[in-house]
Structure 1
Amino acid sequence: MDVTYNKLFKLLIDKEMKKMVFAKSVGISPNTLAKLSKNELVSMKIIVRICRKLNCNIEDIMEILPETREKL
């Protein structure tokens, strides 16, 4: 997990917007919504659409997590 979208979901809660309503308004599929919920990578095109819909910047919806070293 290299990213987290916790900020996005907090923003949706603050706006009292349900995830599926949000996804439909942005035009993202249920599969993409699932990826966001699992903190998986999604395309920059999706991120831009989300930011435009919510009138925010990338740092308002996601964080890039520090790199962790795997133990051998």
Structure 2
Amino acid sequence: MAFSYDNLWRILEAKNMTKEDLKNATGMSSATIAKLGKNETLNMKSLEKICEVLECDIEDVIEFIPENER
């Protein structure tokens, strides 16, 4: 199972936000932000915080990449 947060980075860029801004706005740790950069899985609470701060839906942030498309 693989995920991509490329859409998240596009949203941050459109909002002129950095990863540090996201970290501060959500209260997430640097380790959690690093997981995003590595396309690793996050818990739903972290995804919820991101969606609240960016005022978007979860499908705007994360994309599932099927095994045969990697």
The 4+ residue runs of structure 1 with deviation greater than 6 A are none
Give the Cα–Cα distance (whole angstroms) in 2 for the partners of residues 31 and 55 of structure 1. 23
Structure 1 residue ranges without an equivalent (≥5): none
Instruction: Using structure 2 for the length normalisation, give the TM-score.
Output: 0.91
Alignment coverage as a number of residue pairs: 68
Give the helix-richer structure, 1 or 2: 2
CA RMSD across the alignment? 1.0
Q: 1:37: which partner in 2?
A: 37
Instruction: Using structure 1 for the length normalisation, give the TM-score.
Output: 0.89
CA offsets 1:5-51 (integer angstroms, 9 cap, x no match) = 00001100011101101111111000000000000001011001110
Give the Cα–Cα distance (whole angstroms) in 2 for the partners of residues 23 and 4 of structure 1. 18
